[in-house]
């Protein structure tokens, strides 16, 4: 038994097991059955894990001793491998390799003969050799392979790094454990030409501000410069930003450790930190801000920008800062307050749909009717009763006579109350709606019906001298008048209800009703095999609503910018103090763009937090790669030919895949030297086509003003058609330290 390993266990199976143990009833319907990790796999042929699984949401990690106890008690589903993962003790953290490094092993005598295997980065070469024996490859090939593999590993560690020459900037960043958010933001900034050239020219050395109390003593700027110089040296497949990560955590405690974070939050901190570390203003003077008081916008805006530069003057201001006009109107006295404020990026809202599409299964009271799958449209902020109402319109069954339940592992994982919020139901849940007894009067009891297969042998070890059972088939819900809860009435009701699945009545060995509101039907294994039609029981009908393709919402970037400039009323948590009324007011607020920077960062606010729900918006935002025209949004109109144009081209994108509590960040970026687009996924870099860039994952957009864009100085590379997935580089410069495969407790 490995003392330094953990085992992955399906979260739902684990929760069901905890409920079973807590109930303390061996005959409880919550008996979990065999350990089943099916939901964690991409498919049951290769048993590859799904990408981006999240701890405590998809799986739990249990110690080896606990795993072996569970295995001895419950066994495991046939053919499923145990998901053993090593614990890797690294500086400052202990991590579990949920996704080990996958390596393709090939014979040097036959490069087409390959096998794949997963290794811990703590493994040694001898583990490779032992694996080859287990793969039953011939001995005389083994030594050829062994030499070849050892040569490759040593070459990657030394000579390969010295001799590698690649396009500057086309360089991955090693994932240190949930640091994809940082890598994504760094790749976007790295491919921002004016900022990168500033550091490559060493211009920052003359402007380091070591005395700024708001800065980081120049340490963030120096650490960032070191990363950029490595990435643009053309000598690395991938750079390990460990020192930079340490510096960030030192000055911003929220980024300490190896938890998942937001790339926009990291970007905001980094831009502010670089600005203060490189601020050319060594002593900031106090400046009293003035309201417009009816003065012309041009005058007030110029004054505001001058005041801003008196305290803030850096390459970050030169590159990223713009100015917008803020107008507040008091709802009581109509006082109008106008100020001009600098910004470093625009956080624009996405149109939020008030509706949600849900897929459910309806189980009729009619025993001859198969379950039917429906696709329904419900209010996003609605309740479970709204789901019943939507289904009622399709079925004609009154909504108050429906029961809604989440089914998992042949049992009801949860039965919902009518007034519960629909936000409690996840899109991946299997939701069943059952109709009750509509022709009876009086108080009714809702009961669950579970089908259980009895083992051939008695469980003498537990001291109960009883048979163990395992659930199978679909559970059912029935509503019965309390007066008809007699054994005979229930028996007859169940025979009628199960008629469609049961070929002979004597297949049911017995029925008993416990104090708890559920009924268990135990089947003898031989009788089940002979009389229970499993194929028929699993069939269901797709309603015509399922044939209508789910249309993903698509909006234009310009719509988001229009929403940003729309009048809104301040929230109660953030009122404005009216100087005329002398009290806080829920004023109306309007933001207008006055002037734009050379590089405009647009933050798409995909994470929505309301009183009713918390969600990530997967809306596709159509954003142009070229000619993004802001002339219609700028309040300040061009007055002479010296004014900069308002057209921008895209240079990079930070992507977020996943939901609220987990996810993975990547980035697209256009190389400033050759004009080629690349896809950066931690240490892996691949060529990218322009048609790949606009997706529902786009989170941060970096645009550069067209008059500042420099034409490529070197010809773009020609991707080889023989290279799978347009491969550029995926090896880390420190060999097995490919941390995109080694994640900490929360999946990256």
Torsions phi, psi for 311 (to 5 deg): -115, -20
Judged by average pLDDT, the poorest of 8-22, 344-358, 607-621 is 607-621
**pLDDT (0 to 100) of residue 42:** 80
Across the range 508-523, mean pLDDT stands at: 62
Q: Which residue has the higher pLDDT, 623 or 633?
A: 623
Residue 256 CB contacts under 8 Å (≥ 6 apart), including other chains: 249
pLDDT at 203 over 90: yes
- pLDDT grade for 142, boundaries at 50, 70 and 90: very low
pLDDT at 505 over 80: no
Per-residue three-class SS string for 600-634: EEEEEECEEECCCCEEECCCEEECCCCCEECCCCE
Torsions phi, psi for 224 (to 5 deg): -65, -40
Domain 355-546: give its CATH code: 3.10.20.90
pLDDT at 164 over 50: yes
Residue 97 CB contacts under 8 Å (≥ 6 apart), including other chains: 85, 86, 88, 120, 121, 741, 742, 743
> What's the chain's average pLDDT?
80
**pLDDT (0 to 100) of residue 731:** 41
- pLDDT grade for 1, boundaries at 50, 70 and 90: very low
Catalytic one of 474, 603, 664, 733: 664
The three-class DSSP label of residue 24 is coil
> Dihedral of CA 277/279/285/290: which sign?
negative
pLDDT at 451 over 90: no
- Predicted confidence (pLDDT) per residue in 270-279, tens digit: 999 999 999 9
pLDDT at 392 over 60: yes
pLDDT at 627 over 90: yes
Specify the residue for token string 């606990």: 66
Helices (H), 539-668: 557-564
Statement: 5-99 belongs to CATH 3.40.50.300: no
**pLDDT (0 to 100) of residue 490:** 78
Element (H, E) at 60: strand 59-63
Q: Which residue has the higher pLDDT, 38 or 429?
A: 38
Residue pair 613/380 in contact by the 8 Å Cβ criterion: yes
Across the range 104-111, mean pLDDT stands at: 50
Across the range 616-644, mean pLDDT stands at: 81
- pLDDT grade for 367, boundaries at 50, 70 and 90: low
Across the range 185-198, mean pLDDT stands at: 97
Ordered by start, the domain boundaries in the chain are 5-99, 355-546
d(CA 431, CA 444): 23
Judged by average pLDDT, the poorest of 82-91, 304-313, 504-513, 539-548 is 504-513
Judged by average pLDDT, the poorest of 434-438, 568-572, 637-641, 740-744 is 740-744
pLDDT at 442 over 70: no
Specify the residue for token string 């797709």: 542
**pLDDT (0 to 100) of residue 113:** 52
**Is 118 designated active site?**
no
Across the range 717-725, mean pLDDT stands at: 54
d(CA 385, CA 383): 5
DSSP lists the bridge partners of residue 614 as 609
Cα–Cα nearest to 681, from 257, 106, 52: 52
β strands within 516-670, DSSP E: 518-523, 541-542, 554-556, 568-569, 576-578, 583-585, 588-595, 599-605, 607-609, 614-616, 620-622, 628-629, 647-657, 664-670
pLDDT at 384 over 60: yes
pLDDT at 206 over 90: yes
Cα–Cα nearest to 117, from 133, 104, 127: 104
**Is 664 designated active site?**
yes
Distances from the Cα of 95 to the Cα of 89, 177, 189, 443, angstroms = 7, 8, 29, 55
pLDDT at 514 over 50: no
pLDDT at 733 over 50: no
pLDDT at 356 over 60: yes
Across the range 202-227, mean pLDDT stands at: 94
Neighbours of 395 (CB within 10 A): 18
Across the range 177-190, mean pLDDT stands at: 95
The three-class DSSP label of residue 245 is helix
**pLDDT (0 to 100) of residue 146:** 35
**pLDDT (0 to 100) of residue 743:** 29
**pLDDT (0 to 100) of residue 723:** 43
d(CA 177, CA 260): 9
d(CA 361, CA 404): 10
Judged by average pLDDT, the poorest of 364-378, 594-608, 711-725 is 711-725
Q: What is the pTM (predicted TM-score) of this model? A: 0.65
Residue 383 CB contacts under 8 Å (≥ 6 apart), including other chains: 418, 419, 420, 421, 422
- pLDDT grade for 449, boundaries at 50, 70 and 90: confident
pLDDT at 207 over 70: yes
- Predicted confidence (pLDDT) per residue in 246-271, tens digit: 999 889 888 887 788 899 999 999 99
Neighbours of 667 (CB within 10 A): 28
pLDDT at 675 over 90: yes
**pLDDT (0 to 100) of residue 509:** 43
Judged by average pLDDT, the poorest of 25-29, 50-54, 288-292 is 25-29
d(CA 659, CA 682): 19
**pLDDT (0 to 100) of residue 685:** 94
Residue pair 577/583 in contact by the 8 Å Cβ criterion: yes
Across the range 49-73, mean pLDDT stands at: 86
**pLDDT (0 to 100) of residue 294:** 85
Q: Which residue has the higher pLDDT, 480 or 132?
A: 480
Catalytic one of 180, 188, 330, 560: 180
DSSP lists the bridge partners of residue 418 as none
Across the range 425-451, mean pLDDT stands at: 70
Q: Which residue has the higher pLDDT, 669 or 122?
A: 669
Q: Do domains 5-99 and 355-546 have the same CATH topology?
A: no
pLDDT at 744 over 50: no
Q: What DSSP string runs through 393-461?
A: HHH---GGGEEEEEEETTEEEEEE-TTSBGGGS-TTS-EEEEE--SS--S-EEEEEEEEEEEEEEEEGG
């Amino acid at each position: 038994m490995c003392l330094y390993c953990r085992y992955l266990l399906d979260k739902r199976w684990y929760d069901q097991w905890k409920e079973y143990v807590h109930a303390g009833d061996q005959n409880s319907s919550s008996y979990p059955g065999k350990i089943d990790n099916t939901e964690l796999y991409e498919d049951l042929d290769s048993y590859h894990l799904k990408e981006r699984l999240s701890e405590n949401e998809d799986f739990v990690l249990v110690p080896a001793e606990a795993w072996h106890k569970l295995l001895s008690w419950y066994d495991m589903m046939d053919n499923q491998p145990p998901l053993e993962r090593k614990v890797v003790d690294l500086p400052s953290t202990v991590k579990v390799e949920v996704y080990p490094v996958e390596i393709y092993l090939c014979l040097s005598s036959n490069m087409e003969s390959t096998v794949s295997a997963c290794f811990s980065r703590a493994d040694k070469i001898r583990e490779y050799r032992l694996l080859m024996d287990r793969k039953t490859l011939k001995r005389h090939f083994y030594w050829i392979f062994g030499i070849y593999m050892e040569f490759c590993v040593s070459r990657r560690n030394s000579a390969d790094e010295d001799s590698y020459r690649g396009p500057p900037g086309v360089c991955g960043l090693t994932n240190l454990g949930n640091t994809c958010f940082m890598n994504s933001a760094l790749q976007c900034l790295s491919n921002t030409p004016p900022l990168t050239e500033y550091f490559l020219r060493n211009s920052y050395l003359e402007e380091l501000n070591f005395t700024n109390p708001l800065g980081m003593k120049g340490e963030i700027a120096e650490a960032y410069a070191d990363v950029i110089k490595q990435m643009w040296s053309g000598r690395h497949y991938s750079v390990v930003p460990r020192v930079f990560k340490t510096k960030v955590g030192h000055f911003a405690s929220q980024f300490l450790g190896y938890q998942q974070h937001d790339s926009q939050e990291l970007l905001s901190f980094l831009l502010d930190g670089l600005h203060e570390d490189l601020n050319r203003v060594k002593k900031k003077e106090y400046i009293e801000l003035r309201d417009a008081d009816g003065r012309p916008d041009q005058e007030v805006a110029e004054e505001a920008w001058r005041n801003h530069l008196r305290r803030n003057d850096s390459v970050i201001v030169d590159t990223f800062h713009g100015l917008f006009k803020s107008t507040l109107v008091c709802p009581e006295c109509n006082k109008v307050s106008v100020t001009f404020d600098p910004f470093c990026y625009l956080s624009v809202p996405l149109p939020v749909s008030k509706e949600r599409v849900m897929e459910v299964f309806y189980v009729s009271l009619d025993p001859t009717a198969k379950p039917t799958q429906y696709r329904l449209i419900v209010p996003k902020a609605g309740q479970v009763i709204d789901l019943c109402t939507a289904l009622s319109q399709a079925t004609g069954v009154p909504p108050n006579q429906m029961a809604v339940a989440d089914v998992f592992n042949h049992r009801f994982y949860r039965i919902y109350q009518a007034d519960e919020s629909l936000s409690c139901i996840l899109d991946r849940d299997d939701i069943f709606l059952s109709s009750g007894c509509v022709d009876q009067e009086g108080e009714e009891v809702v009961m669950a019906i579970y089908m259980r297969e009895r083992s051939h042998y008695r469980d003498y070890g537990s001291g109960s001298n009883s048979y163990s059972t395992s659930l199978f088939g679909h559970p059912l819900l029935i509503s019965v008048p309390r007066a008809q809860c007699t054994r005979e009435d229930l028996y007859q009701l169940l025979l009628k209800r199960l008629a469609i699945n049961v070929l002979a009545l004597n297949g049911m060995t017995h029925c008993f009703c416990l104090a708890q509101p559920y009924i268990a039907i135990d089947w003898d294994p031989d009788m089940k095999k002979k009389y229970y039609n499993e194929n028929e029981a699993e069939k269901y009908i797709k309603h015509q609503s399922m044939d209508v393709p789910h249309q993903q919402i698509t909006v234009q970037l310009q719509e988001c910018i229009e929403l940003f400039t729309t009048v809104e009323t301040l929230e109660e948590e953030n009122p404005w103090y009216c100087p005329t009324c002398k009290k806080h007011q829920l004023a109306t607020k309007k933001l207008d763009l006055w002037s734009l920077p050379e590089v405009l960062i647009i933050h798409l606010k995909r994470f929505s937090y309301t009183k009713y729900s918390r969600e990530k918006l997967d809306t596709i935002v159509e954003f142009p790669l070229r000619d993004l025209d802001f002339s219609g949004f700028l309040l300040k109109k061009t007055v002479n030919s010296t004014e900069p144009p308002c057209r921008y081209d895209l240079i990079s994108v930070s992507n977020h895949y996943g939901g609220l509590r987990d996810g993975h960040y990547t980035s697209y970026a256009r190389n400033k030297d050759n004009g080629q687009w690349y896809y950066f996924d931690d240490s892996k870099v691949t060529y990218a086509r322009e048609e790949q860039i606009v997706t529902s994952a786009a989170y941060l957009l970096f645009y550069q003003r067209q008059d500042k864009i420099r034409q490529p100085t070197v010809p773009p590379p020609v991707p080889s058609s023989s290279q799978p997935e347009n491969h550029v580089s995926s090896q880390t410069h420190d060999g097995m330290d490919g941390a995109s495969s080694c994640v900490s407790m929360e999946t990256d």
